[in-house]
Amino acid sequence: MKATPPAFEFRPVWLGAGALAAFGVLAGCKPSAAPVAETLTVPVATVGRATLANDLVLTAEFRPYQDVEVMAKVTGYVKEIKVDIGDHVHAGDVLATLEVPEIQDEAIKAKAAVTAAQAEASIAHLSYQRILEVSGREPGLVPKQEVDVAQSSDLRTAAQLAGAQSALQAAEAMMSYATVRAPFDGVVTKRYASVGSMIQAGTSSSAMPVVRLAENDLLRLVLPVPESAAGSVAVGQAVEVAVTSRSETLRAKVTRLAESVQMATRTMDAEVDIPNAKGNLYPGMYAEVHLHLRARPDVLSVPLDAVDGIGTSSEQAYVVRGGVIHLASVVTGLQTSAAVEVLSGLASGDQVVVGRHVGLYEGEKVDARPAGYESNGKHS
């Protein structure tokens, strides 16, 4: 009896090196894990309380309190000039004397007319007194008409005398105008005339001044306040005046306001009076003026670049809580060059994103890092 071969016959299969390599590649091709997104790092500042001060720094120029070109009231030649540049004078001091022959002749004639009028008035008055005395002592002896005529002559000559005296006073007044005097205490800053110069009366368009006089004991500091800040400036407001050329700082107050914005520059002039008794400040010098507009003590504040849309109805800030960004609507108040007051929408201790906010959105996870801003100091 023959043995029956098995239904399944095992035969060894030999694989070549290429087939083994291909098998290994297929075995290693497994799906890889998705890459993990990096968390965005954002700079943040902490909301805190601070004292905010809004100051305006302006460049201003010192001007004399009074500055005038002294003119002559009459036309004449300079006979004598007593001052020169840099001389300090007092009100009423003689600056120059003019020679005016025409007015001198008029004064001489006016004096002669007064003398003649006095003589006629004296005779007329004596005649009237005598006739009146006789008429009173012996009634009917002197006709009443003669008494009336004498009285009329007395009154007429008295009026003529008054007219002559008035003309003399006018001539003497014109003569006094030949002496040019200082209108106030000051210093001569320019001299226009010399001895022999022809000076026209100040009413003439071609008139030449005698000297220029400036009052420097008190100076005006003129501040060109921008239109945007004009409403925040008031008389009596404190200012700090830094005179760079003298390396000194003065404290003063706003003295007066123009209350009008100039169309060309869109600024309003404010003036500060600066005493200059020592005379170490000169008109034309510049100063840097710090004008204190407003101050808000102990208020919530954040950096200026932490709030978008400042001054609009859509002010907002990006707040980081638990590593997640939340968009907060805020209302701001006083704004300075570095910080802004927060009236509502944020609380003390909140962390807000500073700098650019492009690409940030509600609910985004971020890594908050301090931006080096501390809100518990004073920002101005």
pLDDT at 380: 36
pLDDT at 245: 85
The pLDDT confidence band at residue 375, using thresholds 50, 70 and 90, is: very low
CATH 2.40.50.100 location in the chain: 72-98+179-209
pLDDT at 252: 92
Q: Is the pLDDT of residue 376 over 70?
A: no
Stretch 359-367: mean pLDDT: 91
Q: What angle do CA 167, 170, 172 make, to 5 degrees?
A: 110
The pLDDT confidence band at residue 18, using thresholds 50, 70 and 90, is: very low
363 DSSP 8-state letter: T
Q: Which one has a higher pLDDT value, 90 or 228?
A: 90
The pLDDT confidence band at residue 35, using thresholds 50, 70 and 90, is: low
Q: Is the pLDDT of residue 379 over 80?
A: no
Q: Is the pLDDT of residue 347 over 90?
A: yes
d(CA 75, CA 167): 19
**3-state class (DSSP) for residue 113:** helix
Q: Is the pLDDT of residue 186 over 80?
A: yes
Q: Please state, rounded to an integer, the average pLDDT across all residues of the chain.
A: 85
In Å, what is the CA distance from 280 to each residue of 34, 59, 67, 286, 349? Answer: 78, 19, 18, 13, 52
pLDDT at 205: 74
In Å, what is the CA distance from 20 to each residue of 15, 17, 161? Answer: 7, 5, 151
Which CATH number applies to 101-177? 1.10.287
- Yes or no: domain 44-52+297-379 corresponds to CATH 2.40.420.20: yes
Q: Is the pLDDT of residue 195 over 80?
A: yes
- Yes or no: domain 72-98+179-209 corresponds to CATH 2.40.50.90: no
Q: Is the pLDDT of residue 307 over 90?
A: yes
d(CA 274, CA 240): 11
Q: Is the pLDDT of residue 19 over 70?
A: no
* 118, 161 Cβ separation under 8 angstroms: yes
pLDDT at 241: 93
The pLDDT confidence band at residue 329, using thresholds 50, 70 and 90, is: very high
Q: What angle do CA 207, 74, 106 make, to 5 degrees?
A: 150
Q: Is the pLDDT of residue 5 over 70?
A: no
Q: Is the pLDDT of residue 4 over 70?
A: no
The pLDDT confidence band at residue 200, using thresholds 50, 70 and 90, is: confident
d(CA 207, CA 198): 9
Beta strands 179-181 and 94-99, pairing class? antiparallel
- Contacts (Cβ under 8 Å, ≥6 apart) of 68: 183, 212, 213, 214
pLDDT at 212: 96
pLDDT at 95: 96
In Å, what is the CA distance from 146 to each residue of 142, 307, 332? Answer: 7, 106, 100
Stretch 259-278: mean pLDDT: 92
CATH 2.40.420.20 location in the chain: 44-52+297-379
* 131, 142 Cβ separation under 8 angstroms: yes
Instruction: Quote the distance between the C-alpha of residue 200 and its chain's center.
Output: 37
pLDDT at 371: 83
Residue bearing tokens 């009028």: 117
184 DSSP 8-state letter: S
Stretch 87-106: mean pLDDT: 91
pLDDT at 129: 87
The pLDDT confidence band at residue 173, using thresholds 50, 70 and 90, is: confident
* Among candidate residues 303, 115, 82, the one with its CA nearest the CA of residue 211: 82
Q: Is the pLDDT of residue 15 over 60?
A: no
CATH 2.40.30.170 location in the chain: 214-295
CATH 1.10.287 location in the chain: 101-177
Q: Is the pLDDT of residue 218 over 90?
A: yes
d(CA 335, CA 120): 86
* 222, 63 Cβ separation under 8 angstroms: yes
Q: Is the pLDDT of residue 303 over 90?
A: yes
Q: Which one has a higher pLDDT value, 358 or 137?
A: 358
Q: At what angle do helices 144-176 and 101-137 cross, to 10 degrees?
A: 160
pTM: 0.60
Architecture of the 214-295 domain = Beta Barrel (2.40)
pLDDT at 70: 95
In this structure, what token pair is assigned to residue 300? 């919530």
Stretch 319-324: mean pLDDT: 94
Q: Which one has a higher pLDDT value, 9 or 138?
A: 138
Residue 269 identity (one-letter amino acid): D
Phi, psi of 332 (to 5 degrees): -105, 160
Q: Which one has a higher pLDDT value, 53 or 156?
A: 156
Q: Is the pLDDT of residue 1 over 50?
A: no
